[in-house]
Amino acid sequence: MASPTLTSPALGSFTAETFERALGAQAGAPAWWLERKRAAYERFAALPMPQRTDESWRFSSIAGVNLDSLEPLAPAAPTARPHVPDFAPLTSLSFVNNRLHGRTALPPELAAKGVVVTTFSEALTRHGDLLKAHFMAQPQRLGSEKFAALHAAFVGDGAFIYIPRGVELDGPILVVHAASGAGASVFPHTLVVAEENSKVTVIDFFTSPANEPLFACGANDLYAGHGSKLTYAAVQNWSRKALSFQLNSTVVRRDARVQSLNIHLGGRQARHESLSQLQAPGAFSEMLALTVASDSQEFDQRTLQVHQAPNTKSDLLYKNALLETAKTIFSGLIIVDPDAQKTDAYQSNRNLVLSDGAEANSLPGLEIQANDVRCTHGATTSRVDPEQMFYLQARGITPVYARELLVFGFFEEVLNRLESEELHAALRTLLKSKLKL
């Protein structure tokens, strides 16, 4: 609910003039795309900034959400190679400050099968219908409608991934979204369309130089067609001075299976919204997240699992480890539509609090309109178990390392769900690197 006392919508640095300049840079794009951008900017300008009283912003630090003093149009990228983990992708795209920075060639046999891994700029001319059908096509209903509109208005280049019917990819596709320059604004986007019975793994990696202020307003659209298997992993490793929004939408069609894992490490304040829509029988969405929250970081996670058809399944497990004076918010909702009988929905948020000054907030929720369903949800907040600590120490392990092992154990339960051992190992290394700090 918008506050009635708000009279002028906040634009911050994203004035109409800067929008026109941004649009000017895309002058060659199709008319429909530019029209959408204009409409998006109008929505952005009309919507109020979030208020303390908004239910979807409960516990959030509203004061930290500030669009002033930003560089709305990030400059062209310096040539420094962004730091990326040691994956061995089939192919990769990397963006710096909303522009394509590097890419590796798609293996020819995949190109021959019709696999497309490209930029929005190219997709707009060659795959316009797909982009039109899937780009931010799903409702925004988790509180960041204003930022979704801002993203759509200012998005520059993004990753467009299309896997045709029946094509199965063995290795992952890596998309690196980097930012550079103090106060820069970036609008990363990854769009994945997995057609019928295809199989693909996509990894989004977000990175920027340590200690540079940044505004990141990203989104992704995942579409899993009938019988497809889509695995998506994202690592948010922005600088500790970043304000970050990442808005996810996942559509799961008949008998399709989506597994998503979001790892949150960076940012001073980072909000992640994730919407999974289970649209046809047999659809399954597994939603996983791991967060290492340290210093005074705030991680705000809002999720929605919508069961729109019978015999659908969703399984959410979000784990946060909190250090120092960090703060986490988890707010999750499961909605079961009236005819979505035999829904099987699960939602769990587990917080491991490693410091007295940390704060974990949890708001699980259910909204069930069908009568023959199985829905469970739960949230726990706990500390390191002293008996477990003692057991490890009794084997000669130092208290510091014992604690580290227990925290990793806490994360392993989630990482173990990954099918790829290579991905598991790479993500484990990333998590370790933050906990060592």
Least distance to another protein, CB of residue 396, Å: 4
- In 3D, which of 148, 16, 18, 151 has the Cα closest to residue 72? 18
Between 81 and 383, CB nearer to another protein: 383
| Amino acid, single-letter form, for residue 36 | R
Between 24 and 396, CB nearer to another protein: 396
Task: State the Cα–Cα distance between residues 329 and 355, nearest whole angstrom.
Answer: 16
Between 232 and 410, CB nearer to another protein: 410
Least distance to another protein, CB of residue 344, Å: 23
User: How far is C-alpha 223 from the chain's CA centre?
Assistant: 14
Between 32 and 391, CB nearer to another protein: 391
Least distance to another protein, CB of residue 378, Å: 16
Least distance to another protein, CB of residue 54, Å: 36
Least distance to another protein, CB of residue 420, Å: 16
Least distance to another protein, CB of residue 409, Å: 3
Between 95 and 410, CB nearer to another protein: 410
| DSSP output for 342-410 | T-EEEEEEEEEE-STT-EEEEEEEEEE--SS-EEEEEEEEEE--HHHHHHHHTTT--HHHHHHHHHHHH
Task: State the Cα–Cα distance between residues 303 and 274, nearest whole angstrom.
Answer: 5
Least distance to another protein, CB of residue 222, Å: 27
Between 54 and 315, CB nearer to another protein: 315
Return the H-helix or E-strand segment holding 33. Answer: helix 31-46
Burial class (CB in 10 A: 0-12, 13-18, 19+), 394: exposed
Distances (CA, A) of 23 to 31, 80, 155, 192, 426: 11, 27, 10, 24, 38
C-beta separation of 218 from 187 below 8 A: yes
Between 341 and 348, CB nearer to another protein: 348
Between 363 and 405, CB nearer to another protein: 405
Residue labelled with tokens 């925290």: 407
C-alpha distance across the termini of the chain, in Å: 40
Least distance to another protein, CB of residue 290, Å: 12
Q: What is the contact surface with another protein in residues (CB under 8 A)?
A: 385-388, 390-399, 401-402, 405-406, 408-413, 416
Query: Quick check: helix, strand or coil at residue 221?
Result: strand
Task: State the Cα–Cα distance between residues 42 and 153, nearest whole angstrom.
Answer: 9
Torsion 97-98-102-104 (CA) sign: positive
| Amino acid, single-letter form, for residue 426 | A
